Structure 1
Amino acid sequence: MHTSNSLRRATLALVTTAALALAPAALADTARTDSALSATGRTDSALSATGHHGPAWRAAWAASPQSPTAPLGPNWSQQGFDNHTVRQVVRVTTGGSRARIELTNRYGSTPLRITGATVARTAEGSAIRPGSVRHLRFDGRPSVTIPVGGTLLSDAANLPVEAFGSLTVTLYLAGGTGPATFHHFASATSYRATGDHRADPAGAAFTETSASWYYLSGVEVTGGHGTARRNGVVTFGDSITDGVGSTQDADHRYPDELAERLAAAGRPRAVLNHGIAGNQVVNDTTWAGEKALTRFRQDVLTEPGVRTVVLFEGINDIGGSTVDFPAAPTPDVSVDRLIAGHRTLIREAHAKGLKVIGATLTPVKGSFYDTPANEAKRDAFNDWVRTSGAYDAIVDLDRAVADPSDPDRILPAYDSGDGLHPNDAGYTAMAQAMDLDEL
């Protein structure tokens, strides 16, 4: 069977012929996830992402998965969970009449058993709004096992979702999970309780907190306004896309600010954040995810309803060989090699019909990356971004946040304090630099 959904997951999923033969009735109803998962990626048995044979699903929130690690502070990824309930709050940037979640065991070492899961509207902190709890199912069942390397979607939940509304996803993990696939730097608080509290409206049982997301890699919606529109934006990059330096639990990352600006201008659309703090274009790292050249296919090219991708990555390639924090230096990357990496990403995006916006790298003077050699590389790469014509459009984030009196340094009013990462005002300035017509 050749379908648009299977095509958009071609690099990730393998759905068995037998499973497909059993699925038509369920597909017409809720676009359920097939429970026969491959060991390499996401299974999605919906017949169409365009609405011709089933619901038109659109990505509403995303986070790029990472392997378990703890270089930037304690988290729960390395030990995993055992008889724990994990409650996670996310803010979607587009709405719909139904929602489903994406869970991943991409970097797990053992099959992951999800004993049960719920989705609800967020009240405050770890509390959820009474009456909004929906028990999620997976191919009609309340529990599911995700194989090593696998990713899956829940069945649709009849929960209307508003753009910029917060959803709370709660997972109950009755047995030991082993090390957990997660997203390290969430700029948001997650909560943990011992025992099964997946449907608790109050948050009293959730006495432990973390600043990471676990297993949850996406939220999709269908119905509502823009059902058949393919106009979402993926922001792809490193810590500055991820939101390092922004206020915790305030949704002031630059992708958040961009989504709000689009909505205020009467051009609402989803803006998805696929940044990973410390990530590099051409080098894998032990603590900051697989290189962009690998993860781009899984994180970006599989997102439903997306039209445009903003590529803003490379400063860690340039500076990674000159620092030993938080891990050993990475191999030196020349400007030519970094450019070749971007050209590869552009080609792959174009092959999927995506428009590509390139971004200049922001200032590093006064940061731990500040060396004459690194500055020369940054200048050379930015010159290529501005003049090569390789992208469909560009956004000059360098000039958007630079100090006019010292252009190699971030404007003090935009500096989070480390000379590298913007603060909330800086992220707003980055979003303001985007040409909405280009998006």
Structure 2
Amino acid sequence: MTATTTAWVAGFRSAVLSPYETIQLKQPRGFHDQTLRQILHLDGGGEAVRLQLSNEYGKEPLVIAAARVAVRAGRGDAAETALLPGTDRPLLFGGADEVTVPVGEVVQSDPVDLAVSAGTDLVLSLYLPEDTGLATFAHTASQNAYAVSGNHVSAPVLDGAEEVDSRFYVTGVDVLAPEGTAIAVAFGDSWFEGTGTSTGTNQRFPNHLNRRLGRGWVVNQGIGGNRLLTDEVGLHGLARFDRDVLTVPGATHVLFHFGLNDLGLPGMTGEPPATAEDLIAGYTALAAKARSAGLTTIGTTMGPYAGTIYPGVDSLEGRAIRREVNDWIRTSTVFDAVVDVAAAVQDPDAPDFIRPDLDSGDHLHLNDEGTRTMADAVDLAYLGL
């Protein structure tokens, strides 16, 4: 029997942003003499794992005095933070069990001999002995993190832990998978990251899409509030493409959903929305970057957001620009394929609005059924996975 050749590919990704942004959708925070336990729902599996931890936006070196990984035992009540017996492993960095991540840097752990599969909940426990300052984070992760005083990285369960609905320091988990495993990157805003879906239940668009795939998988590089053209909530899409797409090992395809925040967020400060011409130029530049890297490009139309509860975000001008740009996306040859997200989730009687049964309640984001409907709109032939 011939042994299967393996390679490191992305099994999970988490795009991060600065805790010092002008617009903050979640309250940033730091840690001091605390164990931080986080749940990482893997998009794909392999026979070993390695993790990436980022201090990209920290203002102090990040001291990690101890780190461990395990498989989560279950869900619900105490089981939320429970470790599956026999799976707890030390996480080492160059053979050491302690690491200091310099300001602005990312570190990668040594490989860990821990077999995981798609859908595994990996538990990462970090002991942070010193004052971290505000943490580099993914602010709308739709997954709680857990913090407790002292060093409890090996605790079977974190009793009495504080729950925080954000993800901190983690930018990725790689898995040792069969060579040739194909990875798609969902690169965009909150409609990919999962705002509006139920916390801790993995109902984001990429999660639903992965449940449809027979091989390969999609990793999530969405940032809630992220713009295509302008820095304000994270690096804008054109600026972070190299960091969040080109560095993803095994990437073969990229899906885009951008533009809503370029249209809506300026209204919060009385500024005009981005023009259709500027958005089209941005999409064209993104697609060119991806194609030059050999990636298959999949564009998506911008979802509806009329009537949103957020002051200033909805405007008649923004609605008209969204329709114009969506018409261009549908008919353009810039992308290798297009998914008509807007058509899938809009109210047929009022197309500028989300269909009521798919609305999270803020009239800007989809609920769990909405993200499933969005994923069902993807022709799997586009992905080749």
Further displaced range: 328-337 or 233-242: 328-337
Structure 2 length-normalised TM: 0.93
Structure 2 distance, partners of 1:81, 1:112, is 10
Q: Which whole-Å CA distance do the structure 1 matches of 2:93 and 2:111 have between them?
A: 9
2:345 is the counterpart of 1:401: yes
State the TM-score, normalizing by the size of structure 1.
0.82
Does 2:179 match 1:228? yes
Residue of structure 1 equivalent to 2:199 = 248
**Offset, 1:270:** 2.3
1:351 and 2:286 are equivalent in the alignment? no
Shift of 1:75: 4.4
Alignment partners' CA distance in 1, 2:10 and 2:364: 30
Contact 1:91-1:166 within 8 A present in 2 as well: yes
Matched, 1:437 2:381: yes
Cα deviation code 1:298-338 (max 9, x no counterpart): 01110001111001110110122212xxxx45664211111
Deviation of 1:370 (Å):
2.8
Cα deviation, residue 416, structure 1: 0.8
Q: Residue in 2 aligned with 1:74?
A: 27
Native 8 Å contact 2:301 2:329 kept in 1: yes
1:257 aligned to 2:208?
yes
Structure 2, unaligned stretches of length 5 or more?
Answer: 74-78
Report the alpha carbon displacement of residue 93 of structure 1 after superposing the two structures with TM: 1.3
Aligned mates of 1:297, 1:131 — CA distance in 2: 38
| Equivalent position of 1:279 in the other structure | 226
Q: CA deviation at 1:72?
A: 3.0
Cα distance, 1:427 vs structure 2: 0.4
Distance 1:222 1:424 in 2: 31
Secondary structure, counterpart of 2:243 in structure 1? helix
Of 47, 58, 61, the residue aligned with 1:111 is: 61
* Partner secondary structure for residue 438 of structure 1: helix
Counterparts of 2:270 and 2:288 in 1: how far apart (Å)?
A: 29
Q: 1:149 to 1:431 in 2, by over 3 A?
A: same
The 5 A counterparts of 1:387-398 are 387-398=331-342
Question: 1 CA distance for matches of 2:125 and 2:295?
Answer: 33
Tell me the CA shift for residue 207 of structure 1: 1.8
The alignment's C-alpha RMSD in Å is 1.6
CA deviations 1:361-396 (Å, max 9, x no partner) are 011222243321111100111011011110010000
Q: Does 1:375 align with 2:319?
A: yes
Answering whether residue 262 of structure 2 is matched by residue 317 of structure 1, we say yes
Alignment-mate amino acid for residue 87 of structure 2 = S
2:38–2:124 CA contact under 8 A, matched in 1? yes
The 2-side partners of 1:188 and 1:320 are apart by: 24
Structure 2 equivalent of residue 339 of structure 1? 280
Q: 1:299 aligns with which of 244, 251, 265?
A: 244
Give the match for residue 96 of structure 1: 46
Q: Flag the 1:71–1:345 CA change in 2: closer, same or farther, 3 A.
A: same
- Whether the aligned pair in 1 keeps the contact of 2:148 and 2:158 (CA below 8 Å) is no
Q: Which amino acid aligns with 2:102?
A: P
Q: Which structure has the higher relative contact order (CA within 8 Å, separation 6+)?
A: 2
Counterpart pick for 2:92 among 132, 137, 140: 137
Q: Displacement, 1:230?
A: 4.1
Q: Within 2, Cα distance between the matches of 1:317 and 1:74? A: 22
- Distance in 1 separating the partners of 2:283 and 2:130: 42
Deviations 1:51-92 (A, max 9, x none): 98xx5101011110111158334342xxx2111110000110
Residues 217 and 331 of structure 1, relative CA distance in 2, 3 Å threshold: farther
Q: Secondary structure at the match of 1:385?
A: helix
Structure 2 counterparts to residues 117-132 of structure 1, below 5 A: 117-123=67-73, 124-132=79-87
Q: CA deviation at 1:141?
A: 1.1
Instruction: Note if 1:417 corresponds to 2:371.
Output: no
Kindly provide the amino acid, as one letter, of the partner of residue 95 in structure 2: G
The offset of 1:257, in angstroms, is 0.3
